[in-house]
Every structure is written in C-alpha cells, then in structure tokens.
Structure 1
C-alpha cells in the first residue's frame, strides 16, 4: 500500500506557509485579503492594521460558525480595519495640527 504524503508539510518537513488559506471558500479569501489593501495607501500604520484584520479574518474563517454569522463577522473585521485606520489618521492630523 502506498503512503499518502502529509500535505501540511513540505519535503523538508517545514510547515506549509499556505496551509491557512487552503480549503477556504472564495468569499472567505476575498474578505481575508481586503484589509491588507490598507498597506498600499496607509504605509506602516495601514499595513499593521491591515495585517491584524487579515489574520483576524483567517481565524474567523476557520471557526465552526454558520455561514451568515461568519460572513457578518468577517465583514465587521473589514469595516473595523478601515474605520480604525481612519481614526488613527484623523488623530494624527489633529495632533499634528
């Protein structure tokens, strides 16, 4: 009988860097990637907030919630990411004066 290889690891036994996104639905991937788009217009602060949103949505995508709950939660993370960036940007402009 032939042994089936472990797809979670590569040939060197290192963890698969794409394991977090394998098996997700297309809409889960899209909602996970949308917060990281803050990096393009927001620099380091946008990148940090976007990365936090990306990992939060990847975590939510793996939870055993129903699809409507998962969709609303992931949309909430996207909205919170963009609103958080807006608040940080406004606070910076107010303090800068």
Structure 2
C-alpha cells in the first residue's frame, strides 16, 4: 500500500496556532472587498458598528465560499454589505432617539 501524504491544514501554521487570515485566503479580489466592506463600520460606529460589521463580514466570508454562481454570489454579498450599513444606521438612529428623546 503506497504511503499517503497528509494534506496540510491551511488554517494552522507550523507552531500549530490557528491562522487568523485563513478565511481570507483564496478569495477573488472582489470577494475580499465585499467581505471587508461591512467591518468598516467599526471606526464609524464604535461597538455597535463593529458588532454589526463583524456579523456582515462573517456572513460575506461564508457566502464567498458557497458554490453559487458569480452573479448570485455578487448580489448576495452586496446585499449583506448594504444590510449591515442600513442596519447600523437604523440601530444608531433608535439609540440616538432613546437617549435624546
């Protein structure tokens, strides 16, 4: 029986530490841009923007790995990014009205 070589785990480095960038590797440039777009809410919206942006980023990273066609994937990822921004402004507006109200 021939010796079968184990394929490397791309999510780990040589010191067996988890690679924080593994989720981003192998994506097309436009998938990277759309995946990162929601997290840009962090400097705009602080903790609320960061939480909504992180959720959008992880949703887009998940969509980027799905076996959908490019047009479907593009529209879905754009929708997630747009929903993250609209969701942030909705939550920020509600919080503002509760505080100033």
In the superposition, the TM-score normalised over structure 2's length comes to: 0.87
Q: In structure 2, which of residues 7, 17, 21 is the aligned counterpart of residue 18 of structure 1?
A: 21
Q: How many residues align?
A: 95
Aligned to 2:49: 46
Q: 1:62 & 1:72 partners in 2: Cα distance?
A: 14
Residue of structure 1 in register with 2:70 after alignment? 67
Distance 2:93 2:17 in 1: 43
Structure 1 unaligned segments of length 5 or more: list them.
none
Paired with 1:65 and 1:7, the residues of 2 have a C-alpha distance of: 24
Residue in structure 2 matching 1:6, options 5, 8, 20: 8
**Unaligned segments of structure 2, at least 5 residues:** none
- How far residue 60 of structure 1 moved from its aligned partner, in angstroms, is 0.3
Task: Determine whether 1:92 maps to 2:101.
Answer: no
Structure 1 Cα separation of the partners of residues 98 and 16 of structure 2: 50
| Structure 1 runs of 4+ with >3 Å offset | none
Q: CA RMSD in A?
A: 1.6
Distance of 1:53 and 1:47 partners within structure 2: 10
Cα distance in 2 for partners of 1:77, 1:5 equals: 33
